[in-house]
Amino acid sequence: MSSPSSSAAASSSAPAADVASNVASAPREGAALSSPQVVVLDDKDSQASAESPNTDRAGNEAAASSAAPAAAPASEPAPAPAPAPVAAKASTTSAKPKKRATASSSLSSSAKRIQKELAEISLDPPSNCSAGPKGDNLYEWVSTIVGPGDSPYSGGVFFLDIHFPQEYPFKPPKIIFRTRIYHCNINSQGQICLDILKDNWSPALTISKVLLSICSLLTDPNPADPLVHSIAQQLINNRSEHDATAKEWTKRYACC
């Protein structure tokens, strides 16, 4: 049989045990109560992380919109040149080769003609005459004429320069006496007054025929169309005096 004191002690210890159990369970309830707060914090973080892409996108769009005006001037194309000057320049450029082509064809035609005449005069030179190019220049010739035996220029050798224009044979050659000669149709500069070298020129004429005409002029001067009027008057009025002076000049200037 238990004593009253032990019963009282047992009854008094029961409430103490309940209190102890409550105290022991208190932290677990506190932890359970604090867990919703942790969930709320997680929701806020997830909401913040969900909103961050929108914030970053807005920031990127703002940065792109602010950078767009600065990039625009670099992408602007340079102004195109006016079309009219380009067209005019093209037409001018296309016209120049056309002129050069025409000049080249004309030069080739004249060169062929001169080469042909050179071959002819080399094979069959005119009497008392010779002619040929100076060096490699086909358009510059030198010629010699031996004074005809039945003239006051007999025994003399006269040198002449011949220049062929690029338009030859449609324009006459230019012939100059380099040796001084006393003649009414040849002046002190060596220029010759001969109709076939001026108005009566024809493309059918050749340099051989021209040299023959000059030789004939030495034999038969033309005082009616003189370059030196004083010599022409002397020839008409005093032929013997004229011939004596012509012979003297030939000995002085044309004899080797």
Segments of the chain with pLDDT less than 50: 1-55, 58-75, 86-94, 97-103
Q: Which of 193, 215, 255, 256 is catalytic?
A: 193
3-class SS string, 55-98: HHHHHHHHHHHHHHHHHHHHHCCCCCCCHHHHHHHHHHHHHHHH
| pLDDT at residue 20, rounded to an integer | 41
| pLDDT, tens only, 127-182 | 999 999 999 999 999 999 999 999 999 999 999 999 999 999 999 999 999 999 99
Per-residue pLDDT, 35: 43
**Residue 108 confidence (pLDDT):** 80
Query: Can you give the pLDDT at residue 126?
Result: 93
| Cα within 13 Å of Cα(172), Cβ side | 18
> Residue 82 has what pLDDT?
57
* Cβ-based neighbour number of residue 32 at 10 Å: 9
Give phi and psi for 227, each to the nearest 5.
-100, -30
CA distances from 21 to 12, 18, 152 (A): 15, 5, 169
CA 148 to centroid of chain Cα atoms: 55
The verdict on whether 256 is a catalytic residue reads no
Task: State the angle between helix axes of 239-249 and 229-237 in degrees (0 to 180), rounded to the nearest 10.
Answer: 130
Q: Are 201 and 213 in contact (CB under 8 A)?
A: no
Phi, psi of 146 (to 5 degrees): -90, 130
Identify the burial level of 176 via C-beta atoms within 10 angstroms of its C-beta, where 0-12 means exposed, 13-18 middle and 19 or more buried: middle
Domains along the chain? 115-254 (3.10.110.10)
Residue 6 token pair: 């032990």
H or E element: which one contains 161? strand 157-163
Tokens of 44: 């806020």
